[in-house]
């Protein structure tokens, strides 16, 4: 892991939790793939989230079967956030603040809330 990952995943407890987990990488991929298959047809769902490129790199390397089931496009909420920050600073200043826990469930919920906020403010229909 790089220095950022060591620091943040150490502070969040993710590193220790993964070391103590009884679920191996292969089983984790299988569980995730089964969940996604139950909810989304193959090739329909893009990978989405904040700074999702880093997650994609990990998943491409360690969970290729999961990635093959997903759509090839990605939705990077961080890119939307960056555009809002530059083009609509007043809207950006009222965006939901992230808790920066760097744990999957919290990150997913925060990314969904953030994208909903941008949809209702900068992507509103005219």
Active site residues: 102
Residue (of 16, 9, 24, 7) closest to 102 by Cα position: 9
- 96's tokens: 């939901």
């Amino acid at each position: 892991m790089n220095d950022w990952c060591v620091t943040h995943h150490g502070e969040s407890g993710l590193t220790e939790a993964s070391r103590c987990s009884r679920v191996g990488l292969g089983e984790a991929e299988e569980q995730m793939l089964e969940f996604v298959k139950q909810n989304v047809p193959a090739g329909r769902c893009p990978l989405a989230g904040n700074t999702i490129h880093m997650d994609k790199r990990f998943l491409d390397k360690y969970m290729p079967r999961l990635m093959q089931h997903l759509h090839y496009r990605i939705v990077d909420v961080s890119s939307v956030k960056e555009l809002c920050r530059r083009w609509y600073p007043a809207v950006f200043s009222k965006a939901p603040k992230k808790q920066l826990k760097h744990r999957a469930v919290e990150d997913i919920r925060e990314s969904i809330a953030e994208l909903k906020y941008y949809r209702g403010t900068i992507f509103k229909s005219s």
